[in-house]
Amino acid sequence: MPFGNPIRTRSDRVAALELPPGTWERVWAILRGRDTLARIGLILLSSVAICVVIEAWNPPFKYRTGYTPSHNIIARVNFTNPNPEATKLAQLRARSQVRYVYAQDAAPLQQLRARLRNTILELTAAAELKDVDPQIWKQFQLPAPADKTQSTEKPPEEQFQEFRSEFTGTDKIERLEQILAVVLGPYEQRGLIDKLPQEPGEGNQDEIRVHPVGQAEPPQTVKVKVVDVLLGDGTAIRDNLRNHFDNKDIADRLFAWLRPQLVPTLKIDMEETSQAIKKAVGDVAPVKDPYPAGATLAEAGKPLEPDQIHLLRLEYASVLAERPMYQKITRAVAMTVMIFTALVLCGIYMRFRHGGPLAAGLTRQIVILFVAVGTVALARWISTDRWRGEILPLLLFGMTTAIVYRPVFALLLTGVLSLIIVMALGQGLPELILLMGVATTAILNLGRIRTRSKLIFVGLFAGGVAFLMSVGLGLIDDQPFDLILMSHSAIVGLWTLTAGFVMTGLLPFIEHMFGILTDLSLLELGDVSHPLLQEMVRRAPSTYNHSITVGSIAEAAADTIGARGLLCRVGAYFHDIGKMLKPGYFIENQGPDEDNRHESLVPAMSTLVIIAHIKDGSDLARQHHLPQPIVDMIAQHHGTQLVEYFFDRAQQQSDPQNGEVDESNFRYPGPKPQTKEAAVLMLADAVESASRTLVDPAPARIESLVCELAEHRLDDGQFDESGLTLRELRAIERSLVMSLTSIYHGRIKYPEQKTA
């Protein structure tokens, strides 16, 4: 049995050699990460949401009022155009044919027949005319003939006896009742009316529908000719009576009594009539004008009018209706893949080229994707022919992204959204150039916002650029140089100017939502009348003076490397506010005759007291609602440095038998500076404090001190996470040396004034 390590052959050694992973292996390792998959999932979800917002499965409608096409626009499919005027005329015709509904009350005619029978019985009961009430007999008198010279009128008594003999006897009364039933019976069913209550042209003038009064719902109506119910002069009733009597005078006397007694028995039923009218109008099919495929909808060289836009929209809707489902699915998938790819490329660029807060956490990515989807939705909604304001949400998004992140990322993502919006609206290259050009102008001129009017001036300048670009691109697109082009260009300029005003109002909400600080907010926050700074003046005046000095030199150093000097200055004002709670434990606040309180404390306890000002300062900042970047600078301005003085004392006082002193107990909790501004503040705080200990602050000594402190923190790894380069570190050192030299420059010694 062999002992020791087995002898490996050359093949074993070659097989055991592990080479660094290749490019595709590294990419695959990154893609398999949970964080990467989550980010890709968010981008995919946002891409789908954008496609839903813009209805990516259908091609967009691209025409707008005032646009002058370069060629005739031809109908692609057959379609129809509703004709409201013709439909209204058809409805009026249908309304005029509606038979109005009337309710018939037969009781008055039935009572009239009974009253006539009773009156005649009263007349036949009298033997002579003198026994009859004159008023009753008068009702049966015939009208005087027009030509009295040819009158053969009989004496009254003879007339009465003739009339009386006609109805004397039971059989004759029964015959009278039968005749009246035949004459008035049809009117009891159909009804009587003096005239139609409806105006001429309203409803059917030839026929009506009648139903008895009190009939159960819905009433059963019968169709009746109007001529059969119009009473008129009663000629039809008189002629019918004459047909039943041999003696025409008898029939005329009966009619003379009946005619004044006849009253209308028909009453219009408005509820049933309204329902009939409504049904008739509703049954009218809309009248549509046909447009065959190939018909010219708009001529080349003529601006599109609203009527033509209406026709084009109808033709567009017909085209969409005939699109098969597979075309819709294919287009939606293609649009989703395109948008997803563009957003992924933006994310890759920011991750590997710039990093920053967007690549650090998912929260920022969720917010920016949500805002992007909202921007596309608002742009599509406000891009209607009436408003044409799609540039407004795009500019707001671009300026917000530039303020929150970086101009380069704002330009990149705004370009992607411009492309999506142009595709969603069906516009061409001129619209894309316009949106991207105006957005680029606004983003590049944004810079640092130090005044409230800055955004308004940016909007004003970008609005002028938008107007000129809109006019120029319109001319390139063969649009005539007329009032229409100028007015549309002015609308684009006004929307751009509006974006500046809207952004001014939204700025505080954007800062709060994204946890950022603009220079404008920093200027307001850096006011020395802030309650925390005033309290520090009262409790720890030397710490306050130290903070003011640190702010001045840190701002100059940050400006040297292109960082935010104003953020460094304001952060320096608040970086030591935690010392207010125990000012006597810090050397700058101890008087010359005051005992050092740390002499009575063990080094570990002194270290805890010193380190506590970081946590106390962060808590005070949060209680007074200071922005998160300021809180971060308070927590990071010492990083994880070692409290060397008390660590050395602890080592001197420690017993070697108990082991070495744990260095981690004497370090600040951190974190290390995460930004260049926090790194500048750390170094400025250190050199300002150390320079106070110099007996002779000559420039050479100051330079040596600054370099020593910077190298010590560099070696300690305090700048590893700040993104600071060695070149920038050297520039910071030079700036700090210049600032401290100007503070501690030599002064002429004047001779003491002699007393008289």
701 pLDDT above the threshold of 60: yes
Q: Tens digit of pLDDT for each residue in 652-686?
A: 887 666 667 788 888 999 899 999 999 999 999 99
Instruction: Compute the half-sphere exposure of residue 712: CA atoms within 13 Å on the CB side of its CA.
Output: 14
- The stretch 630-637 carries a mean pLDDT of 94
The band of 752, judged by pLDDT with boundaries at 50, 70 and 90, is low
Q: Tens digit of pLDDT for each residue in 116-131?
A: 999 988 888 888 888 8
Token look-up 């990516």 returns: 56
214: helix, coil or strand? coil
Cis bond leading into 627, ω under 30°?
no
588 in Cβ contact with 541 (< 8 Å): no
d(CA 247, CA 253): 10
- CA-CA-CA-CA dihedral for 149, 154, 157, 159, to nearest 10: -120
Nearest to 281 by CA among 196, 202, 198: 202
360 pLDDT above the threshold of 60: no
Predicted confidence at residue 640, as pLDDT, reads 93
% of the chain with per-residue pLDDT over 70:
90
The band of 168, judged by pLDDT with boundaries at 50, 70 and 90, is confident
∠727-547-406 over CA atoms, to 5°?
45
Token look-up 């935690």 returns: 578
755 pLDDT above the threshold of 50: no
% of the chain with per-residue pLDDT over 90:
53
Alpha helix stretches (DSSP H) within 624-669: 628-636, 644-653
Q: Tens digit of pLDDT for each residue in 515-556?
A: 788 888 898 888 888 999 999 999 999 999 999 999 999 999
Predicted confidence at residue 754, as pLDDT, reads 47
Predicted confidence at residue 591, as pLDDT, reads 67
Predicted confidence at residue 26, as pLDDT, reads 63
Looking only at the bridges linking them, the beta strands covering 73-74 and 296-298 are antiparallel
Predicted confidence at residue 604, as pLDDT, reads 85
Mean pLDDT of the chain: 87
More confident residue, 576 or 658: 576
Predicted confidence at residue 22, as pLDDT, reads 63
- Mind giving me the DSSP string for 460-520? HHHHHHHHHHHHHHHHHTT--SSHHHHHHHHHHHHHHHHHHHHHHHHHHHHHHHHT---HH
Among 21-35, 77-91, 292-306, 471-485, where is mean pLDDT lowest? 21-35
Cis bond leading into 541, ω under 30°?
no
Among 316-325, 395-404, 519-528, 740-749, where is mean pLDDT lowest? 740-749
Among 147-156, 208-217, 424-433, 540-549, where is mean pLDDT lowest? 147-156
661 in Cβ contact with 647 (< 8 Å): yes
List residues bridging with 642 in a β-sheet.
667
More confident residue, 513 or 454: 454
Nearest to 46 by CA among 382, 423, 405, 413: 413
d(CA 273, CA 275): 5
DSSP tag of 148: G
Q: Tens digit of pLDDT for each residue in 704-746?
A: 999 999 999 999 999 999 989 999 999 999 999 999 998 876 5
Predicted confidence at residue 199, as pLDDT, reads 77
- The stretch 630-644 carries a mean pLDDT of 92
State the helix-helix crossing angle for 603-623 and 628-636, rounded to 10 degrees.
170
d(CA 599, CA 217): 108
394 pLDDT above the threshold of 60: yes
By CB atoms closer than 10 A (0-12, 13-18, 19+), residue 460 is middle
Instruction: Compute the half-sphere exposure of residue 78: CA atoms within 13 Å on the CB side of its CA.
Output: 4
Instruction: For residue 202, report the phi and psi dihedrals to the nearest 5 degrees.
Output: -100, 110
More confident residue, 587 or 342: 342
d(CA 607, CA 34): 40
More confident residue, 249 or 21: 249
Instruction: For residue 576, report the phi and psi dihedrals to the nearest 5 degrees.
Output: -115, 25
364 pLDDT above the threshold of 90: no
386 pLDDT above the threshold of 90: no
Q: Tens digit of pLDDT for each residue in 1-55?
A: 444 455 666 666 656 656 566 666 666 666 676 778 888 999 999 999 999 999 9
585 in Cβ contact with 597 (< 8 Å): yes
Per domain, the residue ranges of the chain are: 30-35+39-58+325-516, 73-83+287-322, 101-143+154-281, 529-743
- The stretch 270-299 carries a mean pLDDT of 92
Predicted confidence at residue 68, as pLDDT, reads 93
Looking only at the bridges linking them, the beta strands covering 207-212 and 101-104 are parallel
Q: 529-743: which CATH topology?
A: Hypothetical protein af1432 (1.10.3210)
